[in-house]
Structures are given as C-alpha cells and as structure tokens.
C-alpha cells in the first residue's frame, strides 16, 4: 500500500486526459492513485466544487464528513477537511476521528434538516461527503456527495460538481483554498454518529421482537465501518450477537478472493463471504456488510441469500407487519431486480415504482415519505420507519440485516425458508447476468434505441408484452432497453467503463428457458444495435 499512498500525494492528474478527470458515476467519483484517477488533486478540486455548490444552493448548515477503512480514505478525508476548513464550512466528523458508515451520514443529515421528523423551514441546511469506494478492491478510492435530502446526489448536482471540479484541475488548483492538516482537524467538530444512529434503531425495526427471540446472531463487518456499529448494537440492546471479525486492515488481507481472484469486499458474493459461510452453523442467522455498510449480505442455514430473493422477502413481510404504513405507499425496485417483486407487490394491491439502475432514483420517495421501500438487485435497500417517516435516504446495510433478524424472530422462518413460501405462491424465477463484448459504435447505439427498435413479436416462445427504454415508475431513461413477456424478461445496458454491454434476464419457466431467453436477447440486440 505504500506505493498507493505515495502516488496519492505525488501523482498529478492530467486534466486534459479524459480518463484522469473527475467523473461522477452512479456512486460518486472512484479511481486509483497509481492510475492518476484518485489523487489529492481530485479531492481538493471536488471538495472546492462542493463548497461552491453549497453556496449556490444556499446551504449554511454543517457538512457531515465520513470515511471508510480503505487505505486512501483517511488521506482523502484530510484533504477534504483542508478545503472545508479554509472555506469556513462547519464540519462534523465521527468522534475520535473514526470512520463512519454511509447510512449514519444519511441519517445525520436527515436528523439535522428535519428535527423530530418535521420539516423545519428555519434550519440551516446540512449535507455530507463520504469517502469510500464501497466494496471495491483495497487500492481503490472513492468520494460521494449527499445533499440536503441525505441520499446520493442526482445527475444535475453531480454534473455541476464534476464540471466545476475539472475546471479547478485545468487551472492546477490555483483557486482552491486549503489550510494545513492540523488546522483542518482542529476546525472539525466531533459528532457521535454511532450513538445517535443506534439509539433510534427501534423506530425502524422491531428490536423488542429480536430481543425476545434471543436468536444467535453473527455479524461480519468485512473490515469496514459497520464494526463499531455492530459492537454498539450488541451492547446497547443486549443482543446475543457476535462480531466474528474485528480486524481492520487497509490491505484487507483477511479477505478470501472473489470469484475472479481479486480482493473485493462484496457481501453479495459467496466467494467473498466464504469466511462467514464457513461458520454459519454457529448462528441462527448471520450478516455481512461492505466497507461503507450500505450493502447487506444475509446468511442462514441455506447459505448466502440471493439479494433479489431477500428483497422479495422483505417486501412481503413489511406489507403485513407495518400497520402504521398507509395503503397508498409505493414499493420501489430497479428495472433489473427480480420480477418476483412485481408479483409480491401486486398481491398486496400496492403500486410498484420501477426505476433505472441507481439508488438515487429512490431518494425523493423515501425523503418525502411516499415510498415505503426501495431496493436494488446489488444488495442495497432502505425503508421508512415503522410510523412511515424517512429513516435513511441512502442504502442501509445494517438495518436490512436487522430486518432479517426481525423477520426470523416474528415468523419463525429463516429468510430462505420464507422465500420458499413465495415461490410456492408465485412460481420460481431463474435469474442471470451475462456480459457481451461490443464495439464503441454498438455501445453508442444504445442511446438511440426506442420501443420501435424491436420489431419482433416474441421472445423465447412467449409474446412480448412491453419494450421499455424509459422506466415505468418515473419515466427516466434506463440507458438501455428492457423487453418483457408474461414469463420472463431481459434488460441490456452498456458498461460505463468497459467495451461490453450487460444483459440481465429472468425466467419463470426454468433454467433452459432462461438460457433460451438470453440467446434470443443477444440475437435481438445484435440486430438492433447494428441498426
């Protein structure tokens, strides 16, 4: 890691090279110091751009600043502080300058801007920055911005910040204000994110039910920010909960390699979760989180639960165990999440809110309290409190783990047993994602696709029921295409970083039909992308 840290401070990005500029994807700006895509210069420029954005937006409250356990996160945190202090922005950081999980930042922003869950027009609005590349490899760095609503910034905000940050890079940071690290740290105010968050957990999950059931629980923070949170939860609520790994190591040397041999702290991957899976029989139910704790991994006697399956279980359970939730509340999913969710939601006479990939599309509904639950197939979700108020407008991996424990405590079923009852009612879906190499021209062609691009009437033997290039929930472009039938669907979208496109597909008619559906999808796409 020495070379990675050295490069962070010493390597200067070339702002004229597209690859070395600031680029906000679905989860902020990410990169590597040795590739000149995540260096001190990027953090200085991004933070100054955020300061400018706050000024434009009229934010006068504090900025909540957190970082995770990746090697580059603490240095980037210090760089951000240098700029914030120089610009006299009030900053709250975790007490003792510890690391901070994403949902805790989101919750803190919401609590400040809506004390006692009420809109407060006179409150000086707060926002947040979180330094994390999520589950990415140890050498990666990342930074994301959460404005006043507490969730991921939308493309208008990130586009503005990106443009302004790159302008600073082009001018070699000459307009960026900084102070010394010591002065910056002295400027920051400490805030006990963990204590505030843990104390309120009973408002979003039934902690009393978990206590009464006295389940044996295991939690693996995977060397991330969930560690102090799980320790505090166990102590505060006197749960029979063991934190199975208390190691924090910037190299993440304790991690088993992921399916491709890389170290990646992905709690939805059976390979990356091998340490917890090896000891699963010690627990009634166990959990894992990625380094910034916005994702969840649920382990029961059956092994690691498929994220799609768990989302369906959560939704079915919540629809019958949240009596204070209004019948008008919608349920959110991304368009590549399982259509088992569609069937569950329909069975409860609820409205499905289907959006493009990216948690940012759920923020407005969670913030305003008309979206009961928002989840995506990559093991990220959040939900309203038990009385229907905003809890976290960013993904909350910790609450989703506790919800798994609540479900088992109340129903007596493990989440995978519960899912089996859903397949008995609605059929069993088979789901797969495949990546297909494509040319730059084919990638570009995705932007021009319309519903009329598909002239076929059938897909894998079934009549096509819909061709979508915009999400049905909010009308936003999906950046690709989705084709549905009564028994299956596929969605395709180009990769943002590689010369390939991703095909997601699902069938309720078995694995053979799923393979047929994927082959049909690839043939159809080959035709429409060539025009």
CATH for the 2-196 domain, from 3.40.190.80, 3.40.120.10, 3.90.1150.10, 1.20.1560.10: 3.40.120.10
Pairing mode, if any, of strands 285-289 and 296-300? antiparallel
Per-residue pLDDT at 335 exceeds 90: yes
Interaxial angle between packed helices 415-426 and 340-347, expressed in degrees from 0 to 180 and rounded to the nearest 10: 80
Q: Report the percentage of the chain scoring pLDDT > 70.
A: 98
Q: Note the pLDDT of residue 440.
A: 87
- 503-523 pLDDT, tens digit per residue, is 999 999 999 999 999 999 999
Q: Of the candidates 288, 283, 343, which has an alpha carbon nearest to the alpha carbon of residue 311?
A: 343
3-class DSSP assignment, residue 483: strand
Per-residue pLDDT at 200 exceeds 90: yes
Mean pLDDT score, 66-79: 98
Q: Note the pLDDT of residue 522.
A: 93
Contact 224, 294 (CB under 8 A): no
Please provide the average confidence, as pLDDT, over all residues in the chain. 96
Sheet with 330-334, strands from edge to edge, namely 352-355, 330-334, 371-376, 380-383
Please tell me the distance from the alpha carbon of residue 14 to that of residue 12, in angstroms, as a whole number. Answer: 7
CATH for the 200-426 domain, from 3.30.950.10, 3.40.50.150, 3.40.120.10, 3.40.1280.10: 3.40.120.10
**Among the residues of 214-361, which ranges form H helices?**
226-237, 274-278, 307-321, 340-347
**Among the residues of 298-452, which ranges form H helices?**
307-321, 340-347, 363-368, 397-411, 415-426, 440-445
- For the chain, where do the domains classified as CATH 3.30.310.50 start and end? 430-530
**Domain covering 430-530: architecture:** 2-Layer Sandwich (3.30)
Q: Note the pLDDT of residue 123.
A: 82
3-class DSSP assignment, residue 482: strand
Contact 28, 50 (CB under 8 A): no
Q: Which of 106, 134, 337, 507 is catalytic?
A: 134
Instruction: Tell me which DSSP letter residue 26 carries.
Output: T
Per-residue pLDDT at 395 exceeds 60: yes
> If 0-12 CB within 10 Å is exposed, 13-18 middle and 19+ buried, where does residue 256 land?
middle
430 backbone φψ class: left, alpha, beta (φ>0; ψ -120 to 50)? beta
3-class DSSP assignment, residue 224: coil
**Look-up: residue for tokens 């962070």?**
8
**134 has catalytic annotation:** yes
Q: Radius of gyration of the chain from Cα atoms?
A: 23
Q: Report the percentage of the chain scoring pLDDT > 90.
A: 93
Mean pLDDT score, 299-308: 98
- CA distances, 83 to each of 152, 184, 188, 206 (Å): 21, 8, 12, 41
- For the chain, where do the domains classified as CATH 3.40.120.10 start and end? 2-196, 200-426
Q: Return the structure tokens found at 4.
A: 């990675």
Q: Note the pLDDT of residue 73.
A: 98
Per-residue pLDDT at 243 exceeds 80: yes
Question: Across 90-137, where does the E strand assignment appear?
Answer: 91-94, 127-131
Q: What share of the chain is helix, strand, coil (3-state, %, to 5)?
A: 40, 20, 40
Q: Note the pLDDT of residue 115.
A: 75
| DSSP secondary structure of 139-155 | TEEEEEEE-TTSS---H
Q: Note the pLDDT of residue 118.
A: 61
């Amino acid at each position: 890691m020495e070379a990675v840290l050295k490069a962070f401070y010493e390597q200067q990005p070339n702002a004229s090279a597209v690859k070395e500029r600031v680029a906000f994807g679905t989860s902020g700006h990410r990169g590597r110091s040795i590739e000149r895509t995540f260096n001190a210069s990027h953090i200085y420029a991004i933070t100054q751009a955020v300061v400018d954005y706050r000024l434009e937006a009229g934010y006068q409250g504090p900025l909540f600043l957190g970082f995770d356990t990746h090697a580059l996160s603490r240095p980037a945190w210090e760089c951000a502080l240098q700029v914030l202090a120089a610009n006299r922005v009030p900053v709250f950081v975790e007490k003792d300058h510890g690391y901070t999980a994403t949902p805790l930042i989101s919750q803190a922003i919401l609590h400040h801007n809506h004390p006692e869950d009420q809109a407060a027009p006179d409150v000086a609005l707060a926002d947040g920055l979180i330094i994390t590349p999520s589950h990415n490899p140890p050498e990666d760095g990342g930074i994301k911005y959460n404005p006043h609503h507490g969730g991921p910034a939308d493309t208008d905000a990130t586009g503005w910040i990106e443009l302004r940050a790159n302008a600073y890079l082009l001018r070699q940071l000459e307009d960026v204000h900084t102070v010394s690290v010591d002065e910056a740290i002295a400027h920051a105010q400490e805030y006990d994110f963990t204590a505030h968050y843990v104390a309120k957990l009973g408002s979003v999950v039934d902690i009393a039910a978990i206590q009464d059931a006295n389940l044996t629980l295991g939690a693996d923070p995977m060397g991330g920010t969930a560690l102090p949170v799980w320790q505090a939860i166990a102590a505060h609520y006197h749960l029979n909960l063991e934190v199975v790994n208390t190691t924090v190591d910037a190299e993440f040397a304790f991690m088993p390699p992921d399916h491709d041999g890389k170290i990646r702290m992905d709690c939805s991957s059976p390979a990356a979760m091998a340490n917890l899976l090896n000891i699963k029989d010690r627990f009634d139910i166990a959990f894992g989180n990625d380094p910034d704790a916005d994702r969840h991994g649920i382990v029961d006697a059956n092994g690691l639960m498929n994220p799609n399956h768990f989302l369906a279980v959560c939704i079915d359970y919540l629809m019958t165990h949240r009596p204070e939730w209004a019948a008008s509340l919608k349920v959110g999913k991304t368009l590549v999440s399982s259509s088992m969710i569609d069937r569950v939601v329909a069975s409860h006479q609820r409205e499905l809110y289907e959006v493009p990939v990216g948690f940012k599309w759920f923020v407005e509904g969670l913030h305003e309290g008309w979206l009961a639950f928002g989840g995506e197939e990559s093991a990220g979700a959040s939900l309203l409190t038990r009385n229907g108020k905003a809890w976290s407008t960013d993904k909350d991996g910790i609450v989703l783990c506790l919800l798994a424990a609540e479900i088992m405590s109340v129903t007596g079923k493990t989440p995978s047993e519960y899912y089996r009852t859903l397949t008995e009612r609605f059929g069993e879906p088979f789901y797969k994602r495949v990546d297909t190499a494509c040319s730059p021209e084919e990638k570009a062609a995705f932007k021009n696709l319309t519903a009329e691009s598909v002239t076929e009437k059938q897909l894998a033997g079934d009549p096509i029921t819909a061709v979508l290039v915009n999400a049905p929930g909010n009308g936003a472009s999906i950046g690709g295409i989705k084709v549905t039938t009564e028994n299956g669907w596929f969605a395709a979208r180009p990769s943002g970083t590689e010369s390939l496109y991703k095909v997601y597909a699902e069938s309720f008619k078995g694995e053979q039909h799923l393979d047929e559906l994927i082959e049909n999808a690839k043939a159809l796409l080959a035709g429409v992308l060539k025009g």
